[in-house]
Amino acid sequence: MTTRQLPLDGLKVVELGQLIAGPFATKLLGEFGADVIKIEPPGTGDPLRKWRILEEGTSLWWHVQSRTKRSVTLDLRTEEGQEMVRRLAVEADVIVENFRPGTLEGWELGYEALAAHNPGLIMVRVSGFGQTGPYRNKPGFGVIGEAMGGLRYLTGQPDEPSVRVGVSIGDSLSALYAVIGTLLALQERQRSGLGQEIDVALYESVFAMMESLLPEYDATGHVREPSGSALPGITPSNAYRTQQGDYVLIAGNGDSIFKRLMQVIGRDDLAQNPAMAHNDGRSQHAQAIDAAIEAWTQTRERDEILRLLEEARVPAGYPYTAADIANDPHYLAREMIQTVTRADGRSLKVPGVLPKLSATPGRLGQGGPPLGAHTDEVLDELGIDTETREKLRHAGII
């Protein structure tokens, strides 16, 4: 029995980025078959190796972000290191980088320089503000993109300081757009034979998620404000306190769903009120509707609330912790809790692969590689002999 190839088998990707946005994009490409060669600084490696919670000196996050990659150490500030990148670029399909705009050009590794020797090369460039415009040279991490993109202003309670989402969502959204751009460019290359640059900005990736924020302002002058756990203009959709003091999330904003929800909580008067038959009318009475729902949830424990709402086909849930996720039967049934093996043989639970393809599902791979674990292997593939590699290693270039 033969195993079907993964969709991106045979695709060679060189990752010149670090931390989150670029490396998350290459992780996704690697999960579907791409050979991802991750370039890291000798001695230190990607700073993500030391981010968040460490175990025996290595970030646990590292085993998610780099689980499909080969690690090559290379000092890009040296002529020899830059020459190795040029040699890799000749054979590469895709280069992903998230340096500040102009950095690669300063090393003569910009797109035009590399594409001159490989016209089919695709270069994905992820930065805070994009490759053009008056802000292009500003440093920009995900949180700044989230702020400029409009998300940070809306996150939190009214009249209180804004809060950030608890993960690097701006970087991750940018990574998704980087992957979409890569796949589009690969499709175009099949027709033209030519590669292209893909310019992804963190703030734009966030801004693209902001739904009707801009047209509402343009047409009416309305500036959307933070609203806590509610979703303004979509009613009811909120968090409601239970008898135990924790919260359930209830989304009863469909017209028929709203009626069923009101019947469950004993408010048939609201279910039959013509003024609340549709969302635009309900949104004018959001405060009263939320109060009615919470008056009911505060008399019951969470599990009973969820059971009653499930029976009535009303979408409801509660905020999951990591412990909830790790032990949830649905996560387990859909294979979203997977295990990788680290270099020392120990296992580690990590998120599964998305999206789910029926015929060619993605691969998980091993845990994140030790720093430089594949340097000799990759340089050997480039035809760099052992003696030359030893000289590069002695000079601290690899």
User: Which phi and psi (to 5°) does residue 340 adopt?
Assistant: -110, 160
Q: 167 Cβ partners below 8 Å, 6+ apart?
A: none
Q: 332 Cβ partners below 8 Å, 6+ apart?
A: none
- Structure tokens given for 214: 């801009």
Q: Is 171 noted as a catalytic residue in this protein?
A: yes
Helix 21-31 and helix 169-192: axis angle, to 10°?
50
Hunting for tokens 């038959």 — which residue is that? Answer: 277
Of 46, 75, 93, 171, the catalytic one is 171
CA 280 – CA 286 distance, rounded (Å): 10
Residues that are catalytic: 171
